[in-house]
Amino acid sequence: ILNVEQSPQSLHVQEGDSTNFTCSFPSSNFYALHWYRWETAKSPEALFVMTLNGDEKKKGRISATLNTKEGYSYLYIKGSQPEDSATYLCASTTGANNLFFGTGTRLTVIP
């Protein structure tokens, strides 16, 4: 079992603000890091999968970076919108078919 931690646990931001949150994972035997977006009453939706140290991924206003040597990833949202309100989950894997999830960061964007 991998210990994956996310911070903060919850976050409230004003519409238009940019924000970021952190995922920490064991750097040994690292294979991949996944970010998911989970809206209330819906299925978690895959955002990014990251594998290489220094990886940067971007999808619209959302981007993520990866540091495998120190075991962390940042997720950034630029110009937050109310529709960005969701729980953002990260999950790490060593390649043995399983994902180990953090507790998530619950983002609320206030109009």
Q: For binding to another protein (CB under 8 A), which residues are involved?
A: 1, 4, 6, 31-32, 34, 42-44, 46, 49, 51, 89, 91, 93, 95, 97-104
Question: What residues have CB less than 8 Å from 91, skipping those under 6 apart?
Answer: 4, 33, 34, 36, 99, 100, 101, 102
Smaller CB separation from another protein, 44 or 109? 44
Neighbours of 25 (CB within 10 A): 24
Q: To the nearest whole angstrom, how small is the minimum distance from the Cβ of residue 94 to another protein?
A: 9
Smaller CB separation from another protein, 77 or 89? 89
* Contact between residue 104 and residue 89 where contact means Cβ atoms under 8 Å apart: yes
Smaller CB separation from another protein, 67 or 78? 67
Q: To the nearest whole angstrom, how small is the minimum distance from the Cβ of residue 18 to another protein?
A: 25
Rounded to whole angstroms, the Cα distance separating 91 from 30 reads 11
Q: To the nearest whole angstrom, how small is the minimum distance from the Cβ of residue 15 to another protein?
A: 27
Cα 97 to Cα 94, 100, 104, distances in angstroms: 8, 10, 21
Q: To the nearest whole angstrom, how small is the minimum distance from the Cβ of residue 14 to another protein?
A: 25
